[in-house]
Each structure stands twice: as C-alpha cells, then as structure tokens.
A and B are shown apart, each in its own frame.
Chain A
Amino acid sequence: MMVVEFLPFALVVFTLVGAFIMPFFARWFTRGCIPLTLGVLGLDIFMAVTLLMGVMNRGPVAYYIGGWAAPWGIEVRGDGIAAIMVLLISFIMFCTMVYGASSIEKELPAGRGGWYCSLLLLISAGMMGLVVSGDLFNMYVMIEVVSLSSVALVLAKGGREVLPAALKYLLLATIGSGFILFGIGFTYILTGHLNIGFAAAELMASGGDYPYLSWVSLTFLVIGLGVKAGLFPLHFWLPDAHSTAASTSSAVLSGLVVKVYAVVVMRLFFQLYSSELLLATDIDRILLVMSIAAILAGSLFALIQKDLKRLLAYSTVAQIGYIFLGISVFSILGLEGAIFHIVAHALMKSMLFLAAGSLIARAGSRQIEDLRGFGRVMPFTAGIFSLGAFSMIGLPLLAGFISKYLLAIAGWDSGNYLVLPLMVISGLLNAAYYLPVIRVLFWAGEKELPLRGEMEFGRVFALGALALGLLVMGVIPEAGRNFIQLAASWLWG
C-alpha cells in the first residue's frame, strides 16, 4: 500500500497548510479559527493512528519527497519512534486546543486568538517534521521552525513579565541552533552526505580515520540539542520561559517541545553514529552524569519554589534527566524506558500544566499559598492535578511508575547500579515537592472559599482525555509497550 509511506509526510504538509491559511481566518472569520484548528488536529490524529497501525504491520517505511531518490532528495522516515511521536504530538495538541477553546480568549490579549491557533499548528507541523525527518539539514530547518515558534508561544501572552523570559529563550535557542548547524556542517565535511542513512554508512567506513573531526561534530550536536532540550547545566532558560507563558503554551512547550529534541538525539546516536565511535568518546558517561545531575538538581530546585508553574517547570528539568538517562545507558531496554517516559511525561506534564492553569485562573494568583483550599472549589481539576502528581512521583497503576521501573531495570542490566537507588531517591524528592501542593489544595484551614464550580466543559473534557490516556498507559502498559519495544529495537538497528 502506498498510503502508509506517504502518511508521515502528508501529516506535516497538511498541518503546515493549515497554519498558512489560518491568518486568513484570523483576519476575516475569527469565529472559524478554533473549529478549523480542531479539525486539522483531529484529522492529524486519524492519520497518525493509521500510520501507527500500518508501521506495526509492515515495518518502517521511507518516502522520498517529490520522487527524488535518497542521497539528493529528502527522505522522510516513518519508523516506530516517528509513528509514536506523531500520534503523541497530535493527541496532546488536540487536547490542548480543546482546552484552549475556552482559555485562549481569556489569557491572551484581545484579537490574538486566531494568530495563536496559527502558531500552534505551525509548531505541531515543525515537531512532526522533526521526528519524521531522515535528512540532517531538513532536521535543522525543522529545529528552527520549532524554536522560533516556541519563542513566539512564550511571547504570545504579552506584558512585562514574559519579555525577559522570551528574550533569554530566543538568545539561547539561537545559540543552540548555531551549535547544531556547526555539528551538521562537520558531519557533512566528514561524510559528504546529509541523508542520515548514507552519512552513517560513510561514518562506519571512514569515520575512524578522522576521530577528532567526528568528536567535534558530536560535541557540537550534543551541546546544541542539550541547550534546546534543557539538559541540566544548560537548562537555565527553561523555568522562566515555561512558567511565564500562557497555560496552553506551557503545556505544549513542557510536554512536547523539549522531548522532540531528545528524539533527535536518539536518532543521531543510534542511526547516525556507530556505537564504537560513541563509546570511544565516553559520551555515554558524560550524558549519564549530566542526567543524574539534572534529576537531582531539578528536584531540589523544585523543592524551594513558591510559584506553582515554576515548580512544574523545574520538575520538567528533572524529567528531561530521566529521558537522557535512558539514552545514556546504551541498551535497548534503556531506549525503551526513555521512549516510554517521553510518552508518559508528555501526558502527565501537559495535564499538570493545564490543570494548574484552571486553578490559577480561578484563584487569580500563581503562588501555591494562594491556592489553599481550591481543591474543594474545583474537585475534578484538583483531582486530575493530584493524579498527574502521583504519576510523577511514580505510584503504581500510573504511567510514571512503568517508565521509572523500565529505567531502573535498564540501568541495573547495563551495570550502572547507581540508577536503581537514584530512581528511589528521585521518587522521594518528587513526593517531597508534589505532596505539599496537594495538601495545600485540599486542606482549606480557616480560609473563606469561593463557591464550588468547575471551569468550562472544554477544559474539563481535555483534562479528562489526558487523564484517561495516562491511566491506559499505566494500567495496561503492555498495549503501548509492545510497540515501544519494537520502535526501540528498530532505532537500535
């Protein structure tokens, strides 16, 4: 069947065309913007499910844009990780947009709703293009699309508070892009190819003759992508940007954008560079140390936050550490844990940010202390928040438990015995900063509370859909895990 091969690419172009015609609607038919965005993203989900089923039946597919064959043309890969990520991106974007249908008009300055929809479609197209791309330069272009639109997502809220955060984000994202471009340039000098498959074959054949050049390209790529993904010592733009943005922006940025760069790192490590080259550079040890530092430092920083969204943002710093930990143990099981954690964390973090957005909108303040007792006012939203927090801590029956379990086993199997106690310690640290928030939400004390009442139906529905996804991933993990296992083994090669 030709259709499955064409799908990963059709998804990107379809979403991109949606983003291009959205300004027309924003200018003349403002009421049509949100239904149109929902329609585009809904069709994306449909196409992504079809792609996932097709890939599961037939194995990885490749499509060459415009019919030009591989070394010259652009290759679009529909392998396991691409299918998983595309489905995840369209699902989370759809839920965020359902939530946003009632929140965008309230959180953003008047008249920006339609343009914001265009931006959301643009960033989904960029992320989808990034995960399906099999060509280094195409990857760079998509990285630029994602970075610039994520800066614009931060900036969309307007006001004094977001300006410094967005400026910091813009500067560091640009520096990261520069590093990535240098890395790709060195790879091109070394191999003469931009297609990942051809460059990998060339590196395998002659990469050992030029060790320093390949190390330099690897260093540039890892630092550039580390800045973008917010890996620990390079994370300092992340809390500002993710905590000041509007709640839908935060959900997208924290749930998806930092993850797609981790997917790019996986592609580069396991499909471009050979494992001998990587192990010769000790990059696995370096990444292991960085990710352990990220897990501990992110959790410790989160522990002292008074601001709910900053707490969630620092928690993201810690969770990025888990994903890179899974990459750095260099085994199929570790990769599986990393992919599982990408999916689980995308679900729970976007859920947490959206629930926090509802609570904050009702309370009118981001300080945790001002939210005291709001669990009584909005029981469903606060319950969803608690569910996400429990999953983050790693309680069984929730998706966060499965990914931590997989990562701990993977660390033990590969001889990194410290990973297992680290998982326990980080789970305790997560409990130490999430449980006080839940306590503050549900134990009102003597405070006078507003009348009980949930937010609009759209917000509640989006939170419910995300929570359902989280429960399905946690209670019957085998359904998702079989395919994630397959995807990890394909990526391993």
Chain B
Amino acid sequence: MDDFIIRKTFRLVIIFLLLYGIYIIFHGHLSPGGGFAGGMIMGLGFIMYLLVFGGNLGRLPINVAILLVSIGGITEASKFLIGKNFPATQTPGSLFSIGIGNLVNLGIGLLVAATILGIFYLEEK
C-alpha cells in the first residue's frame, strides 16, 4: 500500500496502537480487557504495519508467529505449575499485584497476537 499519507500517519499511530495493546494486557486484572483483547489489538497492529510497510518480507511474519506461539504457550502453561502466591501478591489495585497472573496475561497476549498474524499470513507463504 504505497501511499504517502497512510505511511506518514501510520508511523505515528503504530506506537500508540502497540502501547495500547500492552496497556490492556497488563491492566487485565484492573479493568476490562486482558490477555486476549490486548493480544488482539497488538496482532492487528502488526498486521497493519506489515500491510503498510512490509513489501516483501517473505516468510518472516509466519516464522515470528511460530516462535511467539511457542513462547506464549510455555509462558501461559507455566502458571499452572507455579502456585497462586508466587511471587507474593502486592497491594490490591497496583499494576503488578497479582503475582504470576501478569506473566500469564502477557503469555496469552503473545499467543493471540501470533495467531492473528499467523492466520493472516498463512495464505501468503
């Protein structure tokens, strides 16, 4: 999509898009959202970036998606092996207050972002 306006605008927007996704992932226990919604926003950000700037990346997006699925899956499964009180929970309402839950939300976010990316690029390999 070789368009001057889109490129100029999107260069500004992409930072906020990804940041918003990360914000939603890490505030999953405080406000609506969480790993799934935030990961979806991040994944859509990746796709839009690749649509605007990525001309001929070849198989790079799908490789990144595969790696992210592996990392996110292991992170997500790790919560089951670690008890609810590790690391010790903090004051309720603060950002990293739910111990392992934050890491798990990040894992779910990575999984969803990678899946969105993978679904979009699967046909283009």
Contact A20-B80, Cβ < 8 Å, known A27-B63, A67-B85: no
A20 close to B79 (CB less than 8 A): no
Q: Contact at B84–A66, with CB atoms within 8 Å?
A: yes
Residues from chain A with a CB closer than 8 A to the CB of B80 are: 9, 13, 65-66
In the bound assembly, the distance between CA atoms of A19 and B73 in angstroms comes to 9
Whether A21 sits at the interface, judged by CB under 8 Å, is yes
Interface residue SS majority, chain A = helix
B77 at the interface (CB under 8 A from A): yes
**Do A16 and B73 touch (CB < 8 A)?**
yes
B13 at interface, CB cutoff 8 A = no
The answer to the question of B57 belonging to the interface, with a C-beta cut-off of 8 Å to chain A, is no
User: How many angstroms between the C-alpha atoms of A457 and B107 in the bound complex?
Assistant: 41
A23 within 8 A of B: yes
Give the contacting residue for B74; candidates A9, A20, A26, A27; CB below 8 A.
Answer: A20
Q: Does B90 reach chain A (CB closer than 8 Å)?
A: no
A23 to B68, CA, bound (A): 10
A24 within 8 A of B: yes
CB distance from B106 to the nearest CB of A (A): 15
- Distance in Å from the Cβ of B94 to the closest Cβ of chain A? 20
Find chain B residues with CB under 8 A from A65 CB: 80
Chain A proximity of B74: nearest CB distance (Å): 6
The answer to the question of B89 belonging to the interface, with a C-beta cut-off of 8 Å to chain A, is no
User: Is A171 in contact with chain B by the CB < 8 A criterion?
Assistant: no
Q: Is A68 an interface residue (CB 8 A)?
A: yes
Number of interface residues of B (CB under 8 A): 18
Q: Whole-angstrom distance from the CB of A232 to the nearest CB of chain B?
A: 36
Q: Is B70 within 8 A of A20, CB to CB?
A: yes
Question: Which residues of A21-79 have CB atoms within 8 Å of chain B's CB atoms?
Answer: 21, 23-24, 26-27, 65-68
One of A13, A20, A24, A68 near B81 (C-beta < 8 A): A13
Cβ-defined contact, A20 with B84, below 8 A? no
B100 proximity list for chain A (CB < 8 A): 66
B70 close to A24 (CB less than 8 A):
yes
Task: Confirm or deny: A475 has a beta carbon within 8 angstroms of a beta carbon on chain B.
Answer: no
**B69 at interface, CB cutoff 8 A:** yes
B73 & A68 in contact (Cβ 8 Å cutoff): no
Is B119 interfacial (CB-CB < 8 Å)?
A: no
Chain A residues positioned under 8 Å from B72 (CB to CB) = 20
Docked complex Cα distance between A27 and B79 (Å): 27
A449 contacts B by Cβ under 8 Å: no
Residues on A with C-beta less than 8 A from B85 are 67
Residue contact A68 to B66, C-beta cutoff 8 Å = no
18 pairs, A vs B, C-beta closer than 8 Å? A9-B80, A13-B81, A16-B73, A16-B77, A17-B74, A20-B69, A20-B70, A20-B73, A20-B74, A21-B73, A23-B66, A23-B70, A24-B66, A27-B62, A65-B80, A66-B84, A66-B100, A67-B85
Interface residues of A, Cβ cutoff 8 Å to B: 9, 13, 16-17, 19-21, 23-24, 26-27, 65-68
Nearest 3 A/B pairs, CB to CB: A20-B73, A67-B84, A23-B66
- Apart from A20-B74, A24-B67, A67-B85, 14 more pairs, CB < 8 Å: A13-B80, A16-B77, A17-B73, A20-B69, A20-B70, A20-B72, A20-B77, A21-B70, A21-B73, A23-B66, A23-B69, A24-B66, A26-B66, A67-B83
